[in-house]
A and B are shown apart, each in its own frame.
Chain A
């Protein structure tokens, strides 16, 4: 297996057999636990707190072949000022775009707290030579992207070439420089929770700042149980090394209610320390308006027509 660089936190491969244990996941039990957490009843001020947090943690995303600077302009305006009628609604954490749209996005977010994240490394398949992927990452970082969302090489992972996956993440991390690295596992292609856990530990060992469920390009994207598996892996790494890794479920989270469920799961698995956009993001393209609608409902006691929320 590849020789790992000594990370500042001292978390190295090969993984010691026990610490952190790669371990395994019981499918039935983890799905039950996730379902139980999803039944928490979050009301009134607790709900307002969650909705506000969901906005602050959101990575507003557009990853389409048809994306243009005009589309990005609309998206970033929404990101900075999600509800034009309510100044108390905070900005989202970041916008997530394709590399070519990074300059347009950067220009629009200047002066705000909103970050620009770019997907890279032959997103979404990751099926390109490593040097091409690394070059792409250098490019987006040079353009000024604050965050890089890479995909792992699932082909290598599923054929057991873990070292290749690992090495690639290490090289991408190196190319990132100051930019934050989110590593997308594309859980829908990994097949088992055991694989999700293994890939999570691998990505964290290789230097990921965040681990992320999905590209959003597959029907099987983030789910509560798969996110729970990743949160538990993060918890184990934190316990062993003190390193705090972030988590980003992405894809399939469309309703405010789901967002609250994800946050409950986060809070009860990793605790209050992780309730920050520095350590948790929700990747979503259509979630924001439902959250805004709920926020307004909490404030006014009434639901408003979707026509009152801008489509960007």
Chain B
């Protein structure tokens, strides 16, 4: 063999493998410097004359200014929606309504990269989630409800389904475009018109969505968008011209809305907070259960109302589960939301970060044991290291209150009865997870858990055909599926029923 063939020996074992940055290009998004309110099919300067800045939580850079809509703006928007409702939209042939919804769905698919980038930019969520979850699901919701638009008579036989009127919809900052889709798609399919109030910190994809409506040639006034903080939402809730309020957000605000609407005759659906139990039985497929735990609480930085924030582990497998979980946490990549390899992005706002920090401090004070993997956080922006608390007692605040951040509280149980008791021992009742290889146990647990959604051997899985909503203080009303149409329809109490 020649010298050339004589090989250099193996290089030493590398200490790690640094993935090079793989950022999604942001130049696909073009932003205005300043946005007005979207009323009657066009952007107009807010009568309030006020604006507020929206920043990127990963860089604290100001992205744009949006309107702080006041009472007059809300009034104009509701007026435009009423006008559109009475002069055309509600009388339009249902198959024509469906066409608009199909069009919107297709445009969302075509522009999905643009929306995904903007969603990550404005909200801080990893691009892989906005790209693989938020956008496909948003389009799917429009496709799904487009299909219902001309089949309402079949969905609710003998009950003469009719639209309710003007729907005021207030959405949160955790899944801005997806929550918009959950709200707008069924409302329009049922023949209503809409005034939408996006969250204060994440208004941009809703404003970009206005351009989708323009492309789809949706008649003016069918969808109106008013941005602003909680005051704008309050104006919308109390506006006499609104027939129905749909709210997704905190339980505290939900309660205030319900008080405000008492006796007003307005319809209301609320999708509020949660403190879900993710229950791991000792016969579960452990490595997959660990993935489910991670997906349950660190998906979207834990900014998920149905997050599996309380882990209930059967005591006999406590050690291997915690060991596996801690190891897995060391592989989570926290950082630039636009990097395609980022698993955990930025905390949505400074205010939310402070809330998380306050609750985590209380957990340490109360005596829980904290684990955080070694992690380099960017200097600018709002960040929180994925956190696990062990030795948590049911009475600690971190086991009771919704943290809405990447913080997991671990508790143990010995028997299925104890698991049910602990899981249900919360004012909330939105979701739960069950991990076991035993089918009969899945069914019995699903019956006994007080939760609107029970996932078995998976977590945080959504589909437009599946109704979603809570028990107890997690709200009422369902979104998604056939159930999701009901809040947007007047229905005769049918004589053939029951």
When chains A and B are docked, how far (Å) is the Cα of A41 from the Cα of B316?
38
> Does the CB pair B14–A272 fall under 8 Å?
yes
Contact digits for A232-243, partner B, Cβ 8 Å, 1 yes 0 no: 100000010000
> Does the CB pair A41–B341 fall under 8 Å?
yes
- How far does the Cβ of B323 sit from chain A's closest Cβ, in whole Å? 7
Q: A29-B292, A33-B288, A33-B291 are in contact. Are A41 and B17 (CB under 8 A)?
A: no
- How far does the Cβ of B366 sit from chain A's closest Cβ, in whole Å? 31
When chains A and B are docked, how far (Å) is the Cα of A29 from the Cα of B284?
12
When chains A and B are docked, how far (Å) is the Cα of A18 from the Cα of B315?
13
> Does the CB pair B7–A272 fall under 8 Å?
no
Say yes or no: is B395 at the interface (Cβ < 8 Å to chain A). no
In the complex, the number of residue pairs spanning A and B with C-beta atoms less than 8 Å apart equals 104
> Does the CB pair B18–A46 fall under 8 Å?
yes
> Does the CB pair A91–B13 fall under 8 Å?
no
Q: Which parts of B305-354 form the interface with A (CB within 8 Å)?
A: 316-317, 320, 323, 331, 340-341
When chains A and B are docked, how far (Å) is the Cα of A287 from the Cα of B397?
55
CB closest residue in chain B, given A228: B287
What residues on A are CB-neighbors of B320 within 8 Å?
21
- How far does the Cβ of B284 sit from chain A's closest Cβ, in whole Å? 8
Q: Which parts of A79-116 form the interface with B (CB within 8 Å)?
A: 80-81, 87, 90-91, 110-114
When chains A and B are docked, how far (Å) is the Cα of A197 from the Cα of B289?
16
**Choice from A23, A110, A272 contacting B16 with Cβ under 8 Å:** A272
Say yes or no: is B128 at the interface (Cβ < 8 Å to chain A). yes
Say yes or no: is B256 at the interface (Cβ < 8 Å to chain A). no
> Does the CB pair B316–A18 fall under 8 Å?
yes
Say yes or no: is A273 at the interface (Cβ < 8 Å to chain B). yes
Q: A44-B20, A47-B20, A81-B4 are in contact. Are A25 and B323 (CB under 8 A)?
A: no
What residues on A are CB-neighbors of B283 within 8 Å?
24
Q: Which parts of A29-61 form the interface with B (CB within 8 Å)?
A: 29-30, 32-33, 39-47, 49-50, 56
Say yes or no: is A277 at the interface (Cβ < 8 Å to chain B). yes
When chains A and B are docked, how far (Å) is the Cα of A219 from the Cα of B19?
33
What residues on B are CB-neighbors of A81 within 8 Å?
4-5, 7
CB closest residue in chain A, given B24: A41
**Choice from A33, A43, A47, A49 contacting B14 with Cβ under 8 Å:** A49
> Does the CB pair B10–A90 fall under 8 Å?
yes
**Choice from B8, B132, B340, B458 contacting A90 with Cβ under 8 Å:** B8
Contact digits for A280-295, partner B, Cβ 8 Å, 1 yes 0 no: 0000000000000000
Q: A46-B18, A49-B17 are in contact. Are A41 and B340 (CB under 8 A)?
A: yes
When chains A and B are docked, how far (Å) is the Cα of A29 from the Cα of B17?
26
- How far does the Cβ of A174 sit from chain B's closest Cβ, in whole Å? 29
Say yes or no: is A267 at the interface (Cβ < 8 Å to chain B). yes
Say yes or no: is A7 at the interface (Cβ < 8 Å to chain B). no
- How far does the Cβ of B84 sit from chain A's closest Cβ, in whole Å? 42
CB closest residue in chain B, given A88: B8
The 10 A-B pairs of least Cβ separation, nearest first, read: A29-B288, A41-B22, A26-B285, A41-B340, A26-B288, A91-B7, A46-B20, A44-B20, A43-B20, A232-B287
Q: A30-B288, A33-B291 are in contact. Are A267 and B20 (CB under 8 A)?
A: no
> What 4 additional pairs, Cβ within 8 angstroms, besides A28-B458, A41-B22?
A21-B320, A30-B288, A43-B21, A80-B5
What residues on B are CB-neighbors of A44 within 8 Å?
20
CB closest residue in chain B, given A25: B285
Say yes or no: is A268 at the interface (Cβ < 8 Å to chain B). yes
Q: A56-B10, A81-B4 are in contact. Are A275 and B17 (CB under 8 A)?
A: yes
CB closest residue in chain A, given B2: A81
- How far does the Cβ of A54 sit from chain B's closest Cβ, in whole Å? 12
CB closest residue in chain B, given A48: B20
10 A-B pairs within 8 Å (CB atoms) are namely A23-B286, A25-B287, A43-B20, A44-B20, A46-B20, A90-B7, A113-B9, A239-B323, A263-B17, A275-B17
Say yes or no: is A276 at the interface (Cβ < 8 Å to chain B). yes
- How far does the Cβ of A165 sit from chain B's closest Cβ, in whole Å? 23
Contact digits for A3-31, partner B, Cβ 8 Å, 1 yes 0 no: 00000000000000010010111101110
**Most chain-A CB neighbours within 10 Å: which of B18, B289, B341?**
B341
> Does the CB pair B286–A87 fall under 8 Å?
no
When chains A and B are docked, how far (Å) is the Cα of A298 from the Cα of B17?
17
Say yes or no: is B59 at the interface (Cβ < 8 Å to chain A). no
When chains A and B are docked, how far (Å) is the Cα of A137 from the Cα of B331?
40
When chains A and B are docked, how far (Å) is the Cα of A87 from the Cα of B132?
42
Say yes or no: is B1 at the interface (Cβ < 8 Å to chain A). yes
When chains A and B are docked, how far (Å) is the Cα of A47 from the Cα of B19?
8
**Choice from A39, A263, A272 contacting B128 with Cβ under 8 Å:** A39
> Does the CB pair A276–B286 fall under 8 Å?
no
What residues on A are CB-neighbors of B17 within 8 Å?
46, 49-50, 263, 267, 272, 275
> Does the CB pair B292–A113 fall under 8 Å?
no
Say yes or no: is B440 at the interface (Cβ < 8 Å to chain A). no
Say yes or no: is B390 at the interface (Cβ < 8 Å to chain A). no
Contact digits for A112-130, partner B, Cβ 8 Å, 1 yes 0 no: 1110000000000000000
When chains A and B are docked, how far (Å) is the Cα of A232 from the Cα of B290?
12
When chains A and B are docked, how far (Å) is the Cα of A21 from the Cα of B316?
12
When chains A and B are docked, how far (Å) is the Cα of A82 from the Cα of B163?
70
> Does the CB pair B291–A275 fall under 8 Å?
no
Say yes or no: is B437 at the interface (Cβ < 8 Å to chain A). yes
CB closest residue in chain B, given A239: B323
> Does the CB pair A113–B457 fall under 8 Å?
no
Say yes or no: is B6 at the interface (Cβ < 8 Å to chain A). yes
> Does the CB pair B10–A276 fall under 8 Å?
yes
When chains A and B are docked, how far (Å) is the Cα of A81 from the Cα of B4?
8
When chains A and B are docked, how far (Å) is the Cα of A45 from the Cα of B316?
44
Say yes or no: is B87 at the interface (Cβ < 8 Å to chain A). no
- How far does the Cβ of B460 sit from chain A's closest Cβ, in whole Å? 12
Q: Which parts of B266-320 form the interface with A (CB within 8 Å)?
A: 283-289, 291-292, 316-317, 320
CB closest residue in chain A, given B3: A87
When chains A and B are docked, how far (Å) is the Cα of A56 from the Cα of B14?
13
What residues on B are CB-neighbors of A41 within 8 Å?
19, 22, 340-341
What residues on B are CB-neighbors of A113 within 8 Å?
7, 9-10
When chains A and B are docked, how far (Å) is the Cα of A18 from the Cα of B314?
14
What residues on A are CB-neighbors of B331 within 8 Å?
268
When chains A and B are docked, how far (Å) is the Cα of A167 from the Cα of B13?
34
Say yes or no: is B264 at the interface (Cβ < 8 Å to chain A). no
When chains A and B are docked, how far (Å) is the Cα of A18 from the Cα of B7?
46
What residues on B are CB-neighbors of A77 within 8 Å?
5
When chains A and B are docked, how far (Å) is the Cα of A277 from the Cα of B12?
11
CB closest residue in chain A, given B1: A111
When chains A and B are docked, how far (Å) is the Cα of A91 from the Cα of B1?
13
Q: A28-B458, A111-B6 are in contact. Are A42 and B19 (CB under 8 A)?
A: yes
> Does the CB pair B7–A24 fall under 8 Å?
no
- How far does the Cβ of A28 sit from chain B's closest Cβ, in whole Å? 7
> Does the CB pair B291–A29 fall under 8 Å?
yes
What residues on A are CB-neighbors of B286 within 8 Å?
21, 23
**Choice from A23, A40, A47, A112 contacting B7 with Cβ under 8 Å:** A112
What residues on A are CB-neighbors of B341 within 8 Å?
40-41
CB closest residue in chain B, given A40: B341
> Does the CB pair A26–B457 fall under 8 Å?
yes
CB closest residue in chain B, given A20: B320
Say yes or no: is B15 at the interface (Cβ < 8 Å to chain A). yes
What residues on B are CB-neighbors of A23 within 8 Å?
285-286
> Does the CB pair B458–A29 fall under 8 Å?
yes
What residues on B are CB-neighbors of A275 within 8 Å?
13-14, 17
